[in-house]
Amino acid sequence: MNSVQTPPRLTSADAQESGAAVSVELSGVRKCYDEFVAVADLSLSIRPGGIYGLLGPNGAGKTSTIRMIMGIIVPDSGRISVFGEPLARAHMDQFGYLPEERGLYRKMKVQDHLLFLGQLKGLSAAEAATRLRSWCERFELTAWLSKKVEELSKGMQQKVQFIGAVLHDPKLIIMDEPFTGLDPANAVVLKDVLIEMAKSGKTILLSTHRMDQVERLCQSICLINHGHAVLEGDLGEIKARYGLRNVQIKYDGDARFLQEKRLVQSFNDYGNYVEVHLAPGADAQELLKLASANARLDKFEVMEPSLEEIFIDVVGKSNA
């Protein structure tokens, strides 16, 4: 069990200025491929500024959802709006997209490739060239600018692809598993960049199945399963809703309080250290009073449930 700190909510002036109260809103979106329902009646709303985590097991419909927001595929029914307007081609230039699988022309030189991507998003050649230099410096790619993409390692290609996605300074950045393939040092650089962009008012949609990243980076999440949103909203609120059901107690003395069935559902006793799972509806404060009455307490900590626990719990239930 690890104690987790929820990241502070990022409220930035830029985000408020961008006008709309939501960056992206999906309501009742549905997408089927033949018989198979990829996304069924999905609704979610992403507030501007901050990092939003799109979670779910493999095949839950994350990629289909992202593709619909990117306008690559069209939903069968439902509405998608961005920045308060119905999704249209005109919005695409304000989107940055990093697909899960690398999508680069292998034979192109890094510099030419980034210029091409930047220009496609509406930048002038000169503007794109200046921007890509400063990005490449940050990601230590300057020496590779005139190399072909195929000469780069997977991690470096990933960085090139990331730069391509953000070169035009988009308002909405959609990243599908952005950390896979990066070594720890580069993952830190990327994390810093993402947090920096979120603070400056950009909306970042992060799709991943790595819970630890989501817990540390995201302010809000949507957990998708079978194409439905099973959990959606502020991460802190979700955790609170799921309750603080685990208590770690370091004690010395009488362990009778563990037998109180009204409060304790189960426990794992290590002698003078115990992990307690609270009974439904039980209040941790009551247990504290009871325990301190009979034993000396060195530590009494109410544990936040980890996202992973919530995930397994929710996905398990929705599959049952």
Partner 1 sequence: MRNTWLIFKREYLERVRTRSFLVLTLLAPGIMTVLMVLPAKFATMGQGKQHVVIVTSTPQFGKTVRQQLMSAPVADDDEDNPGSADGARQKPEDQYVIEVDASPTEAERSVLRDKVSAHAIDGYLWLTDDALASRKVTWYSREIMGFQERSWLGEAVSRVIQQQQLSSKGITAAQADQMLQPIKVQPVRIERGREAKGSGGARFLEIVVMVMLIYVAVLLYGISVMRSVLEEKTSRIIEVLLSSASSTELMAGKLLGVGAVGLTQILVWIIMAGVVALPSLATQPNFSELQLSPGVMAAFALFFLLGYLLYSTMYATIGAITTTEQEGQQLQFLIVIPLVLSVFMLMPVIRTPDSAAVVWMSLIPFFAPILMYARIVVQTPPLWQILLSLALLIGTVAGLVVLCARIYRIGVLIYGKRATLPEIVKWLKYAKA
Residues in the site for partner 1, rule: CB under 8 A?
33-34, 36, 38, 57-60, 63-64, 67, 70-73, 89, 92-93, 95, 97, 99, 101-108, 112, 116-117, 119-122, 161, 164-165, 315-316, 319
What's the rounded Cα separation, in Å, for the pair 211 and 205? 15
Q: What is the DSSP string of 217-230?
A: H-SEEEEEETTEEE
Using the minimum distance from each CB to partner 1, give the nearer residue, 89 or 261: 89
Least Å distance, CB 182 to partner 1, is 18
| Residue 224 tokens, joined | 């998708």
Least Å distance, CB 319 to partner 1, is 4
Using the minimum distance from each CB to partner 1, give the nearer residue, 179 or 311: 311
Least Å distance, CB 262 to partner 1, is 33
What's the rounded Cα separation, in Å, for the pair 315 and 319? 6
Q: Which residues contact 236 (CB under 8 A, 6 or more apart)?
A: 6, 9
Contact 220, 46 (CB under 8 A): yes
Using the minimum distance from each CB to partner 1, give the nearer residue, 95 or 257: 95
Length of the chain measured in residues = 320
Least Å distance, CB 111 to partner 1, is 13
Least Å distance, CB 35 to partner 1, is 10
Using the minimum distance from each CB to partner 1, give the nearer residue, 205 or 315: 315
Least Å distance, CB 116 to partner 1, is 5
Using the minimum distance from each CB to partner 1, give the nearer residue, 4 or 92: 92
Long-range contact set of residues 55-58: C-beta below 8 Å, sequence gap at least 24: 55/207, 55/208, 55/209, 55/211, 55/214, 55/221, 55/222, 55/223, 55/224, 55/307, 55/311, 56/209, 56/223, 56/224, 56/225, 57/209, 57/225, 57/315, 58/209
The tokens 């230590």 sit on which residue? Answer: 140
Least Å distance, CB 93 to partner 1, is 8
Q: How far is CA 163 from the centre of its chain?
A: 19
| Residue 254 tokens, joined | 């009488």
Using the minimum distance from each CB to partner 1, give the nearer residue, 40 or 315: 315
Strand partners, 276: 247, 267
Q: Which phi and psi (to 5°) does residue 34 adopt?
A: 50, -115
Least Å distance, CB 315 to partner 1, is 6
Amino acid at 109: K
| Residue 50 tokens, joined | 């901050």
Using the minimum distance from each CB to partner 1, give the nearer residue, 72 or 240: 72
Least Å distance, CB 161 to partner 1, is 8
Using the minimum distance from each CB to partner 1, give the nearer residue, 83 or 97: 97
Using the minimum distance from each CB to partner 1, give the nearer residue, 67 or 245: 67
